[in-house]
Amino acid sequence: MRLLTYSALVFFLLLTGCTEDECMETVHYQSYQPVLVSAADWRSTDFTYEAAGEVCEPSGFYVYGDYLLIVDRNAGLHIFDNRDNDAPRPLSFLPIPGGQGIAVRNNILYVSQYLDLLAFDLSDPKEPQFLHRTEDVFELYSVFAGQMAYTGEYIVEYEPTNEVMELSCSEARARENSFWADGLFFASTSITNNMSGSRSAGFTTEVVGQGGSLARFTISNGTLYAVDQQSLRTFSLENPAEPAFVGTTALGWDIETIFPYKDQLYIGSTSGMHIYDVSTPLRPEYLSTFEHVLSCDPVVVQDDVAYVTMWGGSDCGSRTDQLTVLNVSNPRRPIELETIPMEQSHGLGIKDDRLYLCSGTLGIKVFALREDGRLGPLLTTEPGFNARDIIVRHDRPELIVFGWEQAGIRQYDYTEAGEVVAVSDISICPVQL
């Protein structure tokens, strides 16, 4: 059986309108029945930790000290002992249906669940303990809440039915890759046959974990920040066990990523990079925007230099593929230093004078950085892994790389010379057909 997740539905809708103008054939559609869960059901989850199991649909990753956390879409959180990155050891699984954004500060784990924010005690990662639920802090239909049915329930995935439909390509609906009819979602089999489906502010000493460049959660100055498609949400951690929602800052459209640097937040969108001042943590202040061509754009910052990858495609608006380097010593006036064409550039990370770039099917690329922050020569290309995002550990010479689709997660050691060596893989469940 092939199940279709909400993320796959979004993918279909983004492809709508790409069919040819000429009509020469019959179009076949497979129907899917929405799998629903009510707010009463997911809010009644007892969050009892379970024995470690397989990772089936990784949608996010995060490191905190010796531990690697992997979000399994619509399922929960896998916790690994990663002290030896040659042999990561699964410790436990925390069932959190609808869990997505994650961050950890001082042994407290914060996770989104549909509309809510959850807090857990992570002092013993083998036995995480639920602390608090802050309700109704994320918007309906946001990247955190997912899709709601007309019944008021949440659609968590789509299960295929026995009903199929054939349409002449001269019919209006046959020009769409997907559509709804009689309570069922129909998707063109020309797409579904090529898809990999699956199931689904007081000051204290801070010990904060680290996410990748595509993260939507971050912690800075004792405050949790989250970005959905159009806003920045601020949470006070004055009482760490009971995070309090403070307010929303409108950002515009197609917001994608967030990265903290000094007393600033760097927020990536498909049309530009926004910079906000958070020296007063609970009142983010807009500083500037660096506009660019329509594209996806994670950003990382070091030594007052920002690095932004921009790639296009069906969900990013153009066919641009480049890396832009910006001087942000004056965050109110970012200055472009250079823009360099790239190939399959995606997530990125930085440490000292090295930039680590995920290059899709081309693997990992390592660049030297010049004294002024501009890109230097390419030092290493490590192929063999379909790389999407990366965490460059700052406390040890290790990389954690998040792959596309069925690639899973691969870990590497790196050297000062820019060499990288693969040391372990966390594989994922085989696709259920």
Helix (H) or strand (E) holding 296: none
249-302 residue pLDDT tens? 999 988 999 999 999 999 999 888 999 999 999 999 999 999 865 556 799 999
Contacts of 297 (CB under 8 A, 6+ apart): 256, 257, 268, 269, 270, 272, 273, 308, 309, 310
62-92 residue pLDDT tens? 999 999 999 998 899 999 999 999 999 999 9
Is the predicted pLDDT of residue 13 greater than 50, yes or no? no
Q: How far apart are CA 139 and CA 36, in angstroms?
A: 18
DSSP-based three-state secondary structure for 248? strand
Beta strands (DSSP E) in 204-320 are 210-211, 217-220, 223-227, 231-236, 244-250, 255-261, 264-269, 272-277, 285-291, 299-302, 305-311
Q: Which of 240, 250, 194 is nearest to 219 (CA)?
A: 240
pTM metric for this prediction: 0.84
Q: What secondary structure letter does DSSP report for 394?
A: S
CB 134 within 8 A of CB 117: yes
Give the number of other Cβ atoms within 10 Å of residue 293's Cβ. Answer: 16
DSSP-based three-state secondary structure for 210? strand
Please tell me the predicted confidence (pLDDT) of residue 315. Answer: 53
Burial 322-348 (b: 16+ CB within 10 A, else e): bbbbbbbeebeebeebebeebebbbbb
Domain ranges of the chain: 4-19+27-38+153-192, 203-302
Is the predicted pLDDT of residue 192 greater than 90, yes or no? no
What number is the average pLDDT over the span 319-341? 93
Please tell me the predicted confidence (pLDDT) of residue 371. Answer: 95
Q: Which of 84, 43, 52 is nearest to 67 (CA)?
A: 84
Please tell me the predicted confidence (pLDDT) of residue 237. Answer: 97
Q: Which of 410, 422, 362 is nearest to 58 (CA)?
A: 410
Cβ contacts of 64-67, under 8 Å, gap ≥ 24: 64/104, 64/109, 64/122, 64/209, 64/210, 65/207, 65/209, 67/91, 67/122, 67/125
86 phi, psi to nearest 5 deg: -70, -25
**Mean residue pLDDT across the chain:** 85
Q: Which residue has the higher pLDDT, 207 or 25?
A: 207
Please tell me the predicted confidence (pLDDT) of residue 190. Answer: 53
Cβ contacts of 201-207, under 8 Å, gap ≥ 24: 201/236, 201/237, 201/238, 201/281, 201/282, 202/238, 204/106, 205/106, 206/105, 206/106, 207/65, 207/105, 207/106, 207/107
Give the number of other Cβ atoms within 10 Å of residue 317's Cβ. Answer: 16
Give the number of other Cβ atoms within 10 Å of residue 207's Cβ. Answer: 11
For the record, the structure tokens of 73 come out as: 């879409």
Q: Which residue has the higher pLDDT, 312 or 92?
A: 92
223-246 residue pLDDT tens? 999 999 999 999 999 999 999 999
Q: How far apart are CA 150 and CA 230, in angstroms?
A: 23
Q: How far apart are CA 71 and CA 408, in angstroms?
A: 12
Helix (H) or strand (E) holding 7: helix 6-15
Is the predicted pLDDT of residue 378 greater than 90, yes or no? yes
Give the number of other Cβ atoms within 10 Å of residue 314's Cβ. Answer: 9
327 phi, psi to nearest 5 deg: -85, 120
Ranges 38-52, 75-89, 131-145, 168-182, most confident: 75-89
Q: Which residue has the higher pLDDT, 179 or 361?
A: 361
What number is the average pLDDT over the span 310-331? 77
DSSP-based three-state secondary structure for 85? coil
